Amino acid sequence: MKHRVSIRALVAVFTVGMAATGYAQPDPNEPNKKANPGDMNAEVMKQMQAEAARFARMTPAEREVAMQQMMQQMLRMSLTRAGFTDKAVQDAILQMVADQEKAREPVRVAANKVFMAIEPAGNQVNSATIGNYLEDYLAAVEDAKVQRDIATQTLDQKISFSKVPKLKAWLVVNGIIGDAAWFTGGIAMTGMMAATSLVKFQTPPNAARPAGAAGAAGAAGAAVAAPPGAAAPPAAPAAPPAAPAPNAPAALDDGVVVVVTPPATPAARR
């Protein structure tokens, strides 16, 4: 069964959570007690729906903070499961993740100009301008790569991950160092998800857009609809909003709906 969760922040968090968990684990405090995968999946979905509703009530700034806190929690849990319980090691890794998030800000600012320039409802510009935007974006990416290489070397000096194959492997597969994780994901895990990180730079759907290509397109449409000299036909009444589905989380102002599928139980895998 698929569940609709209206929040982009849950994408990365629950991708990490589901991939790391895989299936329900027994309680470590009660080794002889087996967890019920069905009950675990139901509880996971219940928590996800509660989180989605909570996020829907937050401001965009609050969501960004909450998203970072959730990601840090998931990374700590994943490190602990992998056997890396040293708080100093975990703190160093999480600090690098936080620093890299800040370093991506100029990249996202540049990327948003490109993204909005190629969107039909975005900022329509000529090809030369799009080319300039793209060059600026790629230049920002190159700067970020240099900064990331330096950050990776600094992290190695702190925790010596290059001498611990398992720790280095964890950092690689989680995309914290190197670029191997990029090749693991498909388009949905790279381009489409990267685009969702640009939402906070864009004009909300309900906000008034500045006069420009979008307004011109609307005027052109009206001119085509009504022949010269004829009165324009009255606008059709707006359709009433659809009733929300039972127990559906409130929609966010960014309009992003994420479809999350719970992990398969061991029985289902067989």
Domain segments of the chain as ranges: 87-204
The winner for highest mean pLDDT among 52-61, 140-149, 217-226, 246-255 is: 140-149
Is the Cβ–Cβ distance between 100 and 106 less than 8 Å? Answer: no
The winner for highest mean pLDDT among 23-32, 112-121, 164-173, 239-248 is: 164-173
Predicted pLDDT at 191: 66
Mean pLDDT over the full length of the chain: 71
Predicted pLDDT at 67: 85
Alpha-carbon torsion (159, 165, 166, 169), positive or negative: positive
Query: Is 260 in a helix, a strand, or coil?
Result: strand
Predicted pLDDT at 189: 60
Confidence of residue 264 (pLDDT cuts 50, 70, 90): very low
The amino acid occupying position 61 is: A
Predicted pLDDT at 246: 41
Helix axes 87-103, 105-118, angle to 10 degrees: 40
Q: How many whole angstroms separate alpha carbon 22 and alpha carbon 44?
A: 12
Q: How many whole angstroms separate alpha carbon 258 and alpha carbon 7?
A: 7
